[in-house]
Amino acid sequence: MPEGDTVFRTARRLDEALAGGEVTRFDLRVPRFATLDLTGQRVQGAVPRGKHLLLRIGESTLHSHLRMDGAWFVYRPGEKWRHPAFKVRAIVGTAEREAVGVDIAEVEVVPTRDEDDLVGYLGPDPLAADWDPIEAVRRLGADTRAIHVALLDQRNVAGFGNEYAAELLFLRGILPTTPTPEVDVAALLDLGVRTIRANRDRRNRTFTGIDRPGQATWVYGRSGRPCRRCGTLIRRGELGADPTRERITFWCPRCQR
């Protein structure tokens, strides 16, 4: 599942592949921008912002959001793609490399000067150079909703998704439904920052410290299976800011109280 660490690695890969090159192929397969052509423009670089990716080309920014299944792949020009063409939403190529966006939920282009119109609402990003822990604690601490909901609200902190929420709350022994004012949000965010920064440079995300299939998480995706700590069966539920935004939650009823 793409979260802040995934987007950070993706932006770094796109930056290494495209930055400084002149665009030789530009193809957005979305109706609103299907006729837009940025060929001949210089790629300035790729920047992550929480779960959002900003690819700056000339004086424009190609904004994408990976959502649940999106990904960017880098190929050499003419190299065969490892995915069907109908899944492709965006192609940005230079003489050296070709970036292909697959199953991307959001694709849009704005003048770079207007990037804040897209991402200015986001809270502090733990993977950004300007990470502000004091502001992050203030924003999260002011939220009165259940901690699982508050932690997923990108206006509080940018980059944590459902997997991080489930795993961080387990590690801190906090039920997902706990009202945020009852939580030590400073300690929770400190753990979250250390965890996402550690995962930023790993090929595969892990919360247990074990990078093997099926062993990387404590509770996420493990409903009905025994807790790795106490053996109690992991439970699953749904929680959200409203019925249209409910997310699946996972917790151990003994370790999280």
CA separation for the pair 11, 45 (Å, rounded):
9
């979260």: which residue's tokens?
3
Is residue 194 annotated as a catalytic residue, yes or no? no
Q: Which two tokens stand for residue 18?
A: 């495209």
Q: Which of 51, 97, 139, 205 is catalytic?
A: 51
Q: Could you tell me the two tokens for 180?
A: 């945020």
| Torsion of the alpha carbons at 163, 164, 168 and 174, rounded to the nearest 10 | -60
Rounded CA separation 247/240 (Å): 6
Backbone angles phi, psi at 61, to 5 degrees: -125, 125
In the residue annotation, 77 being an active-site residue is answered as no
Strands lying side by side in the sheet with 52-57: 43-49, 52-57, 60-65, 106-111
Does 213 qualify as catalytic in the annotation? Answer: no
Residue in 2, 48, 124, 126 annotated catalytic: 2
Q: To which residue do tokens 């539920």 refer? A: 237
Q: Measure the CA dihedral 72/98/12/89, to 10°.
A: -30
2 as an active site residue: the answer is: yes
Of 194, 187, 126, the closest CA to residue 160 belongs to 126
Residues taking part in catalysis: 2-3, 51, 247
